[in-house]
Amino acid sequence: MSESSGGGGSVKRVELSMERPIWSNFFTVAPLTLVGTIEEDGSPDIAPKHMAMPLGWNNFFCFACSPNHATQRNAQRTGEFTVSFPRPGQVVEASLAAGPRSEEGDKPSLAAIETFPASEVEGILVEDAYLWLECRLDKVIEGYGDNSLIIGEIVAARVAEACLRKSDGDDADLLASEPLLAYLSPGRFARVSDTYSFPFHVDFKR
């Protein structure tokens, strides 16, 4: 790393080496999701993913994964996956979903996570989350180093009633009463409850 004053601003900038991934040098804000898939033996698997987001404005969802992970292999084999968005009080469940596999290949820690069955795909979703998506695999794009982009079309979605935006409701009040969980990569999390309206330009269009 090297320091650079650059430009005319007052912020001192640090040049990062491109010889290794840059992401551990600073924090970024991301969602934390729990992706569900079905193993070859028919048992369910759940894994936390934070490099995850809607893909465009239509009903598509994507997340980064790896062919070395059971999540990608399962999704490619079955053509389906689920996504649960946990609440701030479910950080322990998200950690359990990242638990190690036994010699038999299963995750004993998943027994502590309460789930319910998906309705349109084969899979499970996590109880007490605030948003649940059921997806059919659209495509897998490989070649991003060791990683892949997993893209699914959302075929069913549910949101907790208390978290549903209403035309006559106040968004700030909604988020204050139903905070969101944010993952601050690498290795921290936050409870998002204090929010403000974004100052869109008058001519802004989606």
Give the CATH superfamily of 23-192.
Electron Transport, Fmn-binding Protein; Chain A (2.30.110.10)
Note whether 97 and 110 are within 8 A (CB): yes
pLDDT higher than threshold 80 for residue 92 = yes
Average pLDDT over every residue of 3-13 = 73
Residue 107: how many other CB atoms lie within 10 Å: 21
pLDDT higher than threshold 90 for residue 7 = no
Distance of CA 156 to the CA centre of its chain: 17
Distance of CA 125 to the CA centre of its chain: 14
Burial of 10 (0-12, 13-18, 19+ CB in 10 A): exposed
Q: Tell me which DSSP letter residue 126 carries.
A: E
Average pLDDT over every residue of 98-114 = 81
pLDDT higher than threshold 70 for residue 53 = yes
Share of the chain above pLDDT 70, in %: 95
174: left (phi over 0), alpha (psi -120 to 50) or beta: alpha
pLDDT of residue 61: 98
Share of the chain above pLDDT 90, in %: 83
pLDDT of residue 66: 96
Cα–Cα distances in angstroms (integers) from residue 164 to residues 97, 131, 175, 178, 179, in the given order = 26, 10, 10, 10, 12
Indicate the domain borders of the chain.
23-192
Instruction: Write the pLDDT tens digit of every residue in 109-121.
Output: 888 899 999 999 9
* pTM: predicted TM-score of the whole model, two decimal places: 0.91
User: What are the b/e assignments for 138-148, b being 16+ CB within 10 Å?
Assistant: eebeeeeeebb
